[in-house]
């Protein structure tokens, strides 16, 4: 299957969000190599157009869309430079994964599927406008700044969902909340013992698709430990570093604290008791979860105690996880928030979080609750990157066509769903009014984490369904 060849070629190109120059050039070179009309719009999206197969000239022009960037995340123990290295892929039974890093199946499988059709001489298809957007993972800049005048297609297939039995017809919008607070530092008290506390081994995952799975958030869990111990034994916080990316559930976090030597035995006892409780709570969901304590040497000054109390209170109080379930669509998370990043060091406390909702009013409400929590401690709060959701259209022509195709091919009904991820369709619909849209894809698990993997047999299923859809496009 040609898809795998192009996925391998794509994964050899470093493609972090906001640094897509190399992958954009890769796509331009690909289009030119195959003699296809290739365009870059002003923001950097790449559009490649291909004429219809013989006999398909009277069919509706299709827009095939996927994003070029990928989440770059690795395990702490993995030595890897995303800026220069290609992804090291491993076949593991029926799955493909990467060696200690994200795989890039999100959305590389979609990109490769489009490339395979553009390069083919024998796949039946209508006229195609392939749209490869940039910066989906950190702001959807490509979709927001798309020049819609470059596209004339009336149906858009977005290849960016992660379950092969689902047809997605709606998604959540989102907004970023970033906070900052400068604080006074103080010297570490004499006769102190310095400890590093590290949380690692959590599943993490996509902060939209996986937010309802009950997984541990390393930032919240570490703040919880500090809060509980500090109520019994005074702590000095030297630094805190948790999470990695704004749209990933944080898997790892570390903090450095100081305690008076007189309290050392009591501290260790409390630490063991508190961590045992947490480990018991998460033993079913998080089988590889670890909380480690190590004595170390001081590496800086500590946060002033009043500010420490305020910031730990805020981290413990701030909403994280599901905010509201949809009352209209069974099983759909309507609104959520994920505390993705926390950094405390060198006199500055900062956080990054992402709020999502399929309803604009509850998106505003959950964003308000995060703002209010941090403003209470005097932090500066900046909210931006706002993007709309995608409202389901139950009368969609492409939905009915693909639902019927799915039943004929697989003898079962597909799940027609809206998802809690931030697909680009809502934003693209602003630039492409009246375009009928749907999203589908193969089974991808643990996207946005180093455990990301894609199922080989599911890609085969997706590929057959995709080709059947191209061949069945309605007439003009």
Confidence (pLDDT) at 70:
96
Tokens of 95: 């799955």
Of the candidates 288, 102, 293, 279, the residue with the CA atom closest to the CA atom of residue 200: 288
- Tell me, yes or no, whether 109 and 199 share the same domain: no
Asked if residue 156 and residue 222 are part of one domain, the reply reads no
Last residue of a domain, one of 369, 387, 405: 387
Number of compact structural domains in the chain: 2
Which of residues 366, 387, 408 is at a domain's end? 387
Instruction: Say how many Å lie between the first and final Cα of the chain, rounded.
Output: 30
Question: What is the CA 198 to chain-centroid distance, rounded?
Answer: 23
Residue 476 domain-assigned (yes or no): no
Q: pLDDT value at position 230?
A: 97
Average pLDDT over residues 394-416: 95
Do 379 and 238 fall within a single domain?
yes
* pLDDT tops 90 at residue 133: yes
Q: Are residues 138 and 249 in the same domain?
A: no
Beta-carbon contacts of 443 under 8 Å, excluding residues fewer than 6 positions away, are 162, 163, 164, 454, 455, 458
Question: Could you identify the residue written with the tokens 């009950």?
Answer: 214
Checking DSSP bridges between strand 89-92 and strand 95-98, what pairing results, if any? antiparallel
Say whether pLDDT at 188 is over 80: yes
Domain final residue pick, 387, 405, 425: 387
How far apart CA 298 and CA 238 sit, in angstroms, is 8
Q: Same domain for 234 and 335?
A: yes
Task: Give the CATH number, domain containing residue 196.
Answer: 3.30.70.360
pTM of the predicted model as reported, rounded to 2 decimal places: 0.74
The span from the CA of 370 to the CA of 73, in Å, is: 25
Same domain? For 26 and 107 the reply is yes
CATH of the domain at 125: 3.40.630.10
Phi and psi torsions of 442, nearest 5°: -85, 180
Locate tokens 């009013």: which residue? 361
Residue-wise burial string across 241-272, b where 16 or more C-beta atoms lie within 10 A, e elsewhere: bbbbbbbbbbbbbbbbbbbbeebeeebeebbe
Domain shared by 181 and 166, yes or no: no
Q: Is 136 a catalytic residue?
A: yes
Q: What is the pLDDT of residues 205-259, one digit of tens each?
A: 999 989 999 999 999 999 999 999 999 999 999 999 999 889 999 999 999 999 9
| Same domain for 189 and 149 | no
User: One of 40, 136, 436, 452 is an active-site residue; which one?
Assistant: 136
Cβ proximity of 392 and 386 under 8 Å: no
327/406 same-domain check = no
What pLDDT score does 388 carry? 87
Residues 422 and 338 occupy one common structural domain: no
Catalytic, 232? Answer no
- Give the residue from 320, 333, 322 showing the smallest Cα distance to 373: 320
pLDDT beyond 90 at 278: yes
Structural domain contains residue 459: yes
pLDDT at 37: 98
CA distance 39 to 24: 11
ω into 242 cis (within 30 of 0): no
- Give yes or no: residues 168 and 257 share one domain: no
* 236 shares a domain with 154: no
Q: How far apart (Å, rounded) are the C-alpha atoms in residues 415 and 392? A: 14
The DSSP-derived string for 140-206 is -HHHHT--GGG---SEEEE---S-TTEEEEEE-EEEEEEEEEE--EEPPPTTEEEEEEEEE-----B
**Structural domain contains residue 165:** yes
Domain span at residue 443 reads 2-172+389-471
Question: Which pairs from 87-92 meet CB under 8 Å and 24+ separation?
Answer: 87/11, 87/12, 89/8, 89/11, 91/456, 92/453
Catalytic residue among 69, 135, 166, 286: 69
pLDDT digit string (tens) for 37-88? 999 999 999 999 999 999 999 999 999 999 999 999 898 889 999 999 999 9
Rounded to whole angstroms, what are the CA distances from 390 to 35, 44, 168?
A: 35, 23, 10
What is the pLDDT at residue 126? 98
The contacts of residue 364 (CB under 8 Å, 6+ apart) are none
Axis-axis angle for helices 2-11, 456-471 (nearest 10)? 110
**Mean pLDDT in residue range 369-392:** 94
pLDDT of amino acid 137: 92
**Position 299 pLDDT exceeds 90:** no
Tokens of 274: 């508190």
Q: Which range is least confidently modeled, 158-167, 293-302, 430-439?
A: 293-302
Supply the DSSP symbol for 262: G
């Amino acid at each position: 299957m040609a898809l795998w060849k192009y996925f391998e070629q794509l994964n050899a190109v470093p493609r972090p969000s906001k640094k897509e120059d190399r992958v954009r050039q890769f796509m331009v070179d690909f289009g030119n190599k195959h003699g296809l009309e290739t365009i870059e719009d002003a923001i950097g999206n790449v559009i490649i157009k291909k004429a219809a197969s013989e006999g398909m000239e009277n069919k509706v022009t299709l827009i095939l869309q996927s994003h070029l960037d990928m989440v770059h995340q690795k395990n702490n123990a993995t030595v890897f430079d995303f800026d220069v290295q290609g992804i090291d892929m491993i076949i593991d039974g029926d799955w493909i994964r990467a060696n200690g890093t994200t795989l890039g199946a999100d959305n590389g499988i979609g990109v490769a599927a489009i490339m395979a059709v553009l390069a083919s001489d024998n796949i039946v298809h209508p006229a195609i406008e392939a749209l490869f957007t940039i910066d989906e993972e950190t702001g959807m800049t490509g979709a927001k700044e798309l020049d819609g005048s470059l596209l004339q297609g009336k149906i858009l297939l977005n290849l960016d969902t992660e379950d092969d039995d689902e047809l997605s017809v709606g998604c959540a919008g989102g907004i970023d909340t970033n906070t900052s607070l400068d604080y006074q530092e103080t010297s570490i008290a004499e006769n102190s013992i310095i400890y590093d506390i590290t949380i690692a081994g959590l599943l993490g995952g996509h902060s939209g698709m996986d937010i309802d799975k009950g997984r541990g958030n390393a930032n919240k869990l570490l703040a919880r430990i500090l809060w509980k111990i500090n109520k019994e034994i005074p702590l000095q916080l030297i630094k805190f570093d948790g999470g990695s990316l704004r749209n990933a559930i944080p898997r790892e976090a570390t903090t450095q604290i100081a305690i008076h030597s007189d309290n050392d035995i009591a501290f260790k006892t409390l630490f063991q008791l508190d961590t045992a409780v947490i480990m018991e709570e998460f033993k079913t969901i998080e089988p590889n979860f670890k909380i480690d304590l190590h004595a170390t040497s001081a590496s800086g000054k500590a946060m002033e105690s009043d500010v420490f109390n305020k910031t730990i209170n805020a981290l413990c109080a701030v909403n994280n996880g599901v905010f509201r379930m949809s009352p209209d669509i069974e099983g759909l998370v309507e609104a959520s928030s994920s505390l993705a990043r926390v950094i405390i060091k060198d006199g500055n406390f900062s956080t990054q979080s992402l709020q999502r909702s399929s309803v604009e009013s509850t998106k505003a409400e959950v964003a308000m609750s995060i703002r209010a929590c941090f403003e209470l401690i005097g932090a500066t709060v900046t909210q931006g990157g706002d993007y709309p959701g995608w409202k389901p259209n139950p009368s969609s022509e492409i939905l009915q066509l693909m639902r019927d195709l799915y039943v004929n091919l697989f003898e079962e009904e597909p799940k027609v769903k809206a998802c809690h991820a931030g697909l680009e369709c809502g934003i693209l619909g602003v630039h492409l009014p009246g375009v009928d849209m749907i999203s589908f894809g193969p089974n991808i698990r643990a996207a946005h984490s180093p455990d990301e993997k894609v199922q080989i047999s599911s890609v085969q299923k997706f590929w057959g369904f995709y080709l059947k859809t191209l061949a069945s496009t309605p007439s003009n």
